């Protein structure tokens, strides 16, 4: 399939999951607000998510795809299945041991993570048990990530993009009984975190089934460091160090917000919204790019690699910029209209909106980093992305900590400083990645690329004007359209429509290209039950 079609498949399925995820977050906010149980919930998910990004979706998984793809191309499907089995067995053993260790030491760690609640032992106890219940999710996601790599290398993107929906379905299922029964908040917290682990088991099981449908027979055995595992580890170590640095950044942010009641909940809610375009676009394009760039690199097709990267960046910006604009221009409109209910107040929405606006201008950089990293991994160069990630993390930690304390001393929200620092460092990371690719002639922006990008920017500017006008008249629109929920749907729909018309009018995208996106490439794989 074409890069655009692969991305469309990934993004469409991810969109459904993210919409359900947003519903889940609305339900959580209504149930817990920005109080102690919400802080406990975000902490319980923090550690499995942190290490999931490192182990499951991070360096090892990214390093595994080129190694698996190379073995598959050179030695065939059977040898590739053996490589995947060895990698899966090794990673599961390492991660399972790590999960058990964290579960054991959690009672001693939690008072540091939630220092604002050291005088409330019931909150700390609930957070400890919730985290212990959620930790097995990490092992499940490690397996799911490697299985997704096997499917994506085989040209099957749909199933791996679809299974995350079960995290949201299981969480919502756990939140359903408290709507009708008087269940204590602490019990609801434990039900929700247990549902997270259940969802992980379902996701890994479905992906295992998908791999078998693809004809790949995997076997989990005793962990062994075979030559292919050793090669994968060698590629993954620099990325792991980079990922580790990124998680240190996350840990610092969590530690700082842990000293301020409600701050962690604000960070969680803002993070969920600005991560939406990253998950929809950046990850989808990144996954579709790696196999194509690897193929171009192995075959020496420099022009093909250049065009693939041009198309990837243009697609990323075409989908990302309108989302970033909306999050920057009308953050309160979006949050208040969708999340404010139950225990979540308009004051909570206003605080979250201020933080979200500072994340919003970094959103294009977060997505671009996902697109600019695959060329390095395709050439099995993981060292320099590691160095750049470490540099950006150091900037985030130093600048973020400084701004957090300075803002707090001024009577402002310290979380704003963390958001600003995160966006600044993201753009620095992109500058470093792009600078190396241009300097080494691995990518040279063509005049056609620059022209198309400028047209995308123009279309985004027109949409920004419309959204700004809507944001100024938020109260009036809510009254005219009878409900704020209807108002935000109408405004976002109109904004998307105006943006789409402008893309066509400015010829940033042509009708022929849209038709080609929906058409399978000649010689492409036949549709299977996984597509």
Q: CA–CA distance from 313 to each of 9, 320, 427 (Å)?
A: 17, 10, 15
- Can you spell out the DSSP letters for 163-189? TTHHHHHHHHHHHSGGGTS---HHHHH
**DSSP-H helix ranges across 258-282:** 263-277
The structure tokens listed for 419 are: 């958001």
Q: Quick one: pLDDT at residue 55?
A: 59
- CA distances to 268, 280, 393, 449, 513 from 277, rounded to whole Å, are 16, 5, 21, 21, 22
- CA dist., res. 325 & res. 360, Å (int): 7
326, containing H or E segment: helix 302-329
State the pLDDT at residue 521: 40
Cα–Cα distance, 504 to 43 (Å, whole number): 45
Q: Is the dihedral of CA 217, 222, 227, 232 positive or negative?
A: positive
What tokens were used for 445?
């922006």
Mean pLDDT by 10 residues, the chain (531 residues): 54 67 80 82 82 61 70 80 86 90 92 81 92 92 85 76 87 89 90 95 93 86 81 65 54 62 71 70 58 63 72 80 90 85 80 89 86 75 80 86 88 86 90 89 82 91 92 87 86 89 83 52 32 26
Could you please report the per-residue DSSP string of 517-531? HTSPPTTPPPP-TT-
pLDDT at 291: 62
- Nearest alpha carbon to residue 413 among 271, 274, 263: 263
| pLDDT on residue 249 | 58
Please tell me the total number of residues recorded for the chain in this structure: 531
Largest CA distance in the chain: 67
Provide the token pair at 337.
């209209």
């Amino acid at each position: 399939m074409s890069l655009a079609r692969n991305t469309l498949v990934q993004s469409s399925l991810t969109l459904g999951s993210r919409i359900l995820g947003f519903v889940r977050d609305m339900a959580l906010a209504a149930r817990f607000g920005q109080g102690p149980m919400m802080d406990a919930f975000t902490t319980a998910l923090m550690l499995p998510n942190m290490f999931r990004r490192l182990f499951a979706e991070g360096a090892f998984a990214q390093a595994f795809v080129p190694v698996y793809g190379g073995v598959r191309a050179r030695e065939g499907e059977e040898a590739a299945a053996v490589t995947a089995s060895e990698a899966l067995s090794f990673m599961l053993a390492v991660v399972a041991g790590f999960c058990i260790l964290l579960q054991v030491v959690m009672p001693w760690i939690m008072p540091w993570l939630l220092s604002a609640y050291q005088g409330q032992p019931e909150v700390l106890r609930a957070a400890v048990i919730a985290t212990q219940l959620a930790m097995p999710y990490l092992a499940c996601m490690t397996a799911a990530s490697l299985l997704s790599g096997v499917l994506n290398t085989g040209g099957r993107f749909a199933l791996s993009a679809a299974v995350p929906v079960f995290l949201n379905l299981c969480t919502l299922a756990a939140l359903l009984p408290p709507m009708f029964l008087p269940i204590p908040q602490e019990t609801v917290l434990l039900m929700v975190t247990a549902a997270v682990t259940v969802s992980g088991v379902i996701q890994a099981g479905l992906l295992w089934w998908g791999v078998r449908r693809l004809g790949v027979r995997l076997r989990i055995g005793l962990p062994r460091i075979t030559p292919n595992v050793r090669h994968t580890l060698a590629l993954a170590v620099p990325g792991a160090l980079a990922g580790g640095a990124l998680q240190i950044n996350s840990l610092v942010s969590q530690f700082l917000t842990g000293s301020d009641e409600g701050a962690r909940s604000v960070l969680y809610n803002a993070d969920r919204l600005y991560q939406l375009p990253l998950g929809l676009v950046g990850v989808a394009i990144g996954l579709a790019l790696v196999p194509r760039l690897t193929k171009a690199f192995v075959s020496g097709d420099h022009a093909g690699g250049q065009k693939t990267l041009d198309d990837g960046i243009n697609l990323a910006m075409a989908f990302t910029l309108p989302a970033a604009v909306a999050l920057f221009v009308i953050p309160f409109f979006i949050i208040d209209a969708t999340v404010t209910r139950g225990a979540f107040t308009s004051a909570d929405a206003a605080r979250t909106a201020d933080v979200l606006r500072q994340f919003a201008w970094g959103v294009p950089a977060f997505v671009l980093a996902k697109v600019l990293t695959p060329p390095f991994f395709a050439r099995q160069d993981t060292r320099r992305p590691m160095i750049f990630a470490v540099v950006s993390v150091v900037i985030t930690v130093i600048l973020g900590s400084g701004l957090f304390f300075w803002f707090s001393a001024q009577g402002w929200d310290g979380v704003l400083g963390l958001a600003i620092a995160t966006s600044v460092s993201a753009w620095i990371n992109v500058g470093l990645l792009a600078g190396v690719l241009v300097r080494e002639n691995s990518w040279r922006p063509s005049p056609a690329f620059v022209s198309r990008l400028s047209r995308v920017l123009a279309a985004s500017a027109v949409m920004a004007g419309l959204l700004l006008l809507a944001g100024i008249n938020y109260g009036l629109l809510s009254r005219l359209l009878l409900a704020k929920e209807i108002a935000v749907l109408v405004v976002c729909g109109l904004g998307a429509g105006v943006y789409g018309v402008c893309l066509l009018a400015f010829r940033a995208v042509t009708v022929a290209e849209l038709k080609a996106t929906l058409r399978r490439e000649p010689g492409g794989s036949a549709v299977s039950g996984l597509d």
